[in-house]
Structure 1
Amino acid sequence: MLNRRQLLGASLASSALYATGSFVPAWAQNAPDLGTPALPATGFARMKVGDAEVISLLDGITRRPLVAEFVKNAPLAEVRALLASQNLPTDYIDVPYTPFLIVSGGKRTLVDTGLGEFGGPTTGKLLQQLRAAGFAPTDIDTVLISHFHGDHINGIRNKAGELVFANAKVMVPAAEYAFWMDDAQMNAAPAGMKGAFENVRRTFGNMPADRLQRFEADTEILPGIRSVAAYGHTPGHTLFELSSAGQKFFYVADLTNVPALFARNPDWAVTFDMDAEKARQTRRAVFQRITASNAMMGGFHYPFPGFGRMAPAGNGYAFQPSA
């Protein structure tokens, strides 16, 4: 089981956003009106990776006040100074949610699913973007999940409990499934974390056995797609590496929540990391791997369209969006 430090971190993560997408933390309930994030007119973008195509699909953007709890191990003044140095707002954070569609070998693999019908008015746009890109939900062959936070899994079912991608198998990390479906872990979790466990059970609990498939870390799970263990953000947090015709693309999920902060300072800990130290080690190892290969990458919470490369910068890394 997680130790007390990890459980407390997990409680913050779930209560702040990821349990169901509807809970509003106490520190946000009395926040000043910071405006509404603007969504782009076109919410999808395409990129070729060898013989494959990767399409980013913006599910939406939320705006949250920047408070001291967001970065757990750095003074708020230092966090704001780093944002200001990049000409970014210092009183709030805009958080995009961007699943990716991989079209390869005649198959269509959706990587993570957004908030679905369970988020606010500036989220839940995935199906709209999917159709705008020329695909229907029934066209999806596989739904590939990086981890079980609600903004990554809530799009699997609608509020009626129906599977949104009716023809797709759902593939999940075995380590992640083992943690969240463990009754002992759920019973030992703080009260603020119970909702996250319940949300996982709502999503996966009665899924037919022939529909749900668990995969191991660091294996080829689909032709040209390899799972990459990246534990720390959650116990089974997993990245995906696409290889096609000599080119590579890394989907880094929640390796960094805000690249302007946690890529520039990989040792900083976002409040949502369940095991902050393990997440820190993972960030540094993965960014070193990506920069060494100069591979294209995409991040779930990166500025839309989410494509770019990572380059060394000072004691950390700088995300360089693709043109």
Structure 2
Amino acid sequence: MKMMAHRLIAVLFAWVGLQVPLSYAQNAPHLLMQQSGGYALQVGAVRVTALNDGTVPQDAKKLLRHISSAQIDKLLAHNFQSNPVEGSINAYLIQLPQHTVLVDTGAGQMFGPGKGGHVLADLAALGIKPDDVTDILLTHAHVDHTGGLIKDGKPVFTKATVYIGKPDIDFFFDNAQMKNSPYGQGYFTGARTTLKPYLDANKVKTFTGSELILPGITATVHPGHTPGAAFYRLDSEGDSITFVGDIIHIAAVQLAHPKVTIIYDQDQAKARAVRISAFAQFAKQGELIAAPHLSFPGIGHLRHDGSGYDWIPVDYVNRAAESVN
């Protein structure tokens, strides 16, 4: 029975958040395709652009842990949402003077037609070709972040160096871990399929702890969601933004109750601790953060609200700077 439950976890990891119930698909007139492109903002001297690989429905009641279905319904209703919740798959473009950097790559083709795969079109709309990308910063090795690395089985970003927390490589490419893991082989094959071409080409650089990896960009490992889950902080001219990876998936629930975990968290206790600590720190410091599964563009601030937090999205700006005579 225990093994069956673990196998179910693996199946849920791959599909439960990604399959659209027929009734939902047929009765959701709000579903539509958005134009390619992104939303840009300035962080010091650096242009950062949010890209969107698509959205997928998430069944919060099957995915979330340590909260009742009734509580989930109440919190979703408070945010004018209902189950399943539409979740973004965001990636981010950082344009440094000598580097064109992606933070995560989206799911690409890994979830099948209609479920992701828009990052390349977003880049094209910005005039950026795959070969223009010099560096890719992966927050972790799950396929909704690494899937865009390959297309039709071949590497997409052939000139890019891929950065990832070393513990993720050690874990997902360890045959003993895969053999003995309660999550099943499917948990490992996605990471291997998307990352192996870059490993074979010596295009992967790993880090542990905290390390300056590119001008103004510091990578820090925060194990929990995966063993090598990482944050990336960009500092420029006194401004900063931190790309936080998957410390949050369903905002209406996990902002109000940061102790709530999700089935995708490999180490539930560590993932919970990372979220609680990071939320508190970001709110105290007023840090600008970018989260891959919050509503596009997924960029904003956290503010304390009782025992939980409010999410304050970044302002939308659409005008040129005024000239100063």
* TM-score under structure 2 length normalisation: 0.88
Assess, with a 3 A threshold, how the Cα gap between structure 1 residues 158 and 235 changes in structure 2: closer, same or farther. same
Q: Distance in 1 between matches of 2:16 and 2:291?
A: 25
Number of positions where the alignment pairs a residue of Structure 1 with one of Structure 2? 309
Query: 1:260–1:318: 8 Å Cα contact kept in structure 2?
Result: no
Structure 1 counterpart of 2:264: 272
* Residue 287 of structure 1, CA deviation: 1.3
Q: How does 1:188-199 map to 2 (within 5 A)?
A: 188-190=180-182, 193-199=184-190
Structure 2 counterpart of 1:128: 121
Structure 2 counterpart of 1:137: 130
Query: 1:115–1:150: 8 Å Cα contact kept in structure 2?
Result: yes
* Residue 262 of structure 1, CA deviation: 1.1
User: Which structure has the higher relative contact order (CA within 8 Å, separation 6+)?
Assistant: 1
* Residue 28 of structure 1, CA deviation: 5.5
SS of the residue aligned with 2:151? coil
Structure 1 counterpart of 2:215: 223
Mark the runs of 5 or more structure 2 residues left unpaired by the alignment.
Answer: 316-325
Q: Distance in 2 between matches of 1:93 and 1:216?
A: 34
The structure 2 residue matched to 1:202, chosen from 174, 193, 199, is 193
Assess, with a 3 A threshold, how the Cα gap between structure 1 residues 31 and 16 changes in structure 2: closer, same or farther. farther
Q: How much is the aligned-residue C-alpha RMSD, in angstroms?
A: 2.4
The structure 2 residue matched to 1:105, chosen from 97, 108, 115, is 97
Structure 2 counterpart of 1:21: none
Q: Distance in 2 between matches of 1:186 and 1:289?
A: 35
SS of the residue aligned with 1:253? coil
The structure 2 residue matched to 1:33, chosen from 24, 35, 60, is 24
Residue identity in the other structure for 1:116: G
Q: Distance in 2 between matches of 1:145 and 1:27?
A: 21
Q: Distance in 2 between matches of 1:308 and 1:27?
A: 25
Assess, with a 3 A threshold, how the Cα gap between structure 1 residues 230 and 52 changes in structure 2: closer, same or farther. same
Q: Does 30-39 or 95-104 show the bigger shift?
A: 30-39
Assess, with a 3 A threshold, how the Cα gap between structure 1 residues 30 and 288 changes in structure 2: closer, same or farther. closer
Assess, with a 3 A threshold, how the Cα gap between structure 1 residues 40 and 10 changes in structure 2: closer, same or farther. farther
Structure 1 counterpart of 2:323: none
Q: How does 1:71-110 map to 2 (within 5 A)?
A: 71-88=64-81, 90-110=82-102
The structure 2 residue matched to 1:15, chosen from 11, 18, 22, is 11
Aligned: 1:295 with 2:298: no
**What whole-Å deviation, never above 9, does each CA across 1:147-179 have from its counterpart, x for those lacking one?**
1111011111112x2110111111111011111
Identity over the aligned pairs, expressed in percent? 27
Query: 1:37–1:63: 8 Å Cα contact kept in structure 2?
Result: no
Query: 1:147–1:238: 8 Å Cα contact kept in structure 2?
Result: yes
Q: Distance in 2 between matches of 1:70 and 1:320?
A: 25
Query: 2:17–2:63: 8 Å Cα contact kept in structure 1?
Result: no
SS of the residue aligned with 2:41? strand
Mark the runs of 5 or more structure 1 residues left unpaired by the alignment.
Answer: 19-23
Assess, with a 3 A threshold, how the Cα gap between structure 1 residues 145 and 9 changes in structure 2: closer, same or farther. farther
* TM-score under structure 1 length normalisation: 0.88
Q: Distance in 2 between matches of 1:152 and 1:274?
A: 16
Assess, with a 3 A threshold, how the Cα gap between structure 1 residues 188 and 242 changes in structure 2: closer, same or farther. same
Q: Distance in 2 between matches of 1:313 and 1:270?
A: 22
Structure 1 counterpart of 2:321: none
Residue identity in the other structure for 1:82: L
SS of the residue aligned with 1:33? helix
* Residue 181 of structure 1, CA deviation: 0.9
Residue identity in the other structure for 1:225: I
